[in-house]
Amino acid sequence: MGMPGFINVRQGINYTYLNAGNRSLVQYLRDEIGLPVYIDNDSSLIALAEQRFGIAKAQQNVMVINLGWGIGLGMIVNNEIFRGHNGFAGELSHIPLSDDDALCACGKRGCLETVASMQVVAEKAIEGINGGRATSVKDTDSVASKALLDDILDAAGKGDQFAIELLSDAAYKIGKALAILIHIMNPQAIVLSGRGARSGKILLAPIQQALHKYCIPRLAESTQLLISDLGFDAELIGAAVLMMENFEKEVKSLPTLAV
C-alpha cells in the first residue's frame, strides 16, 4: 500500500491520513482482509520502482521526484530506500523556497509546493480561464479534479501556450529545489516521475535552466536528469516490489519445517 503522508513503515502507521484507532492501519487491514499488508510512502514506492524496473535501474544514488498534488521525493542511497532517522526523509514539498510567502496546507508559509505543485498549476489554470485566457484547457468546478490536470498535461503536449506557460513556471521553481538537492546529495541521477512526468519533456527545459543558474557546474554535470518511462504505473510497480521484498523476508524468517 502506497500513501502520501508521514509513514512509519515498521509500525504500519500513517501519521497524516486514516487513523485506524487502537490498531495500526496495517494491522487493521490485515485483520479485516486476512492477507499480509505492508505500507510505504508513495514517493518511496515510486523511487523503488524506478530503481528496480525503471530508468534508474540498478543505480546506487538516485533521487526520484514524484510530481503530483505535492512534490514528493523518494531517495535511493547506497542502493536502498533512504528514510532518515524517523522515516521522514525526503520532505521536499515543504522546504522554504518561495519568496511570496503563500500559505501552505501544512500551516507554514513559502513551502515549495505552494508555488510548484500540480495542484498550483491546476489552480492557476482555473484562474486564467476565468480571467479570459485563450486555451484549449476545459474549465472545471474542482481544483482537485484529476480530469483537469490530465487536460492541462494533454493540452501542453499539443502545444497549448497557456498550459505550457503554467507547467514551465512550476518547473523552473522545481529546478531551483533540485539545485539544492544536487548540492546536498550529489546524486548520480534525478528522475522526474509520478503523474506530471507525462509532460517531462516540457518540464525539462526550465528545470535545466534553473540548474544552470543555481548549481555549481561541476555538480550539475555530475547528475543526469531523467524522465520516467513507467508513467502512472510507477507507484503500483513499487507496491509490488514492496510486497515481494517483505514476503521474501517473512518466508525466510519462518521456522524450518521438519520433513
Residues 205-234 that bind a copy of itself (CB under 8 A): 213-214, 216, 218-219, 222-223
- Give the integer Cα–Cα distance in Å for 259 and 248: 21
Which CB sits closer to a copy of itself, 59 or 228?
59
The grid cell for 229 is 518511462
Cβ count near 191 (within 10 Å): 32
Q: Figure out which of the listed residues 11, 18, 88, 247 binds a copy of itself, where binding follows CB under 8 A.
A: 88
Contact 220, 212 (CB under 8 A): yes
Beta strands, E only, the chain: 2-3, 7-8, 13-14, 40-41, 62-67, 71-77, 80-81, 189-193, 224-227
Q: Does 92 bind a copy of itself (CB under 8 A)?
A: yes
Min dist. Cβ of residue 111 to a copy of itself (A): 9
Q: Does 15 bind a copy of itself (CB under 8 A)?
A: yes
Which CB sits closer to a copy of itself, 121 or 210?
210
- Give the integer Cα–Cα distance in Å for 145 and 122: 9
Min dist. Cβ of residue 8 to a copy of itself (A): 11
Could you list the residues that contact a copy of itself (CB under 8 A)?
6, 15, 60-61, 73, 77-78, 82-92, 94-97, 99, 106, 108, 110, 176, 179-181, 183-188, 213-214, 216, 218-219, 222-223
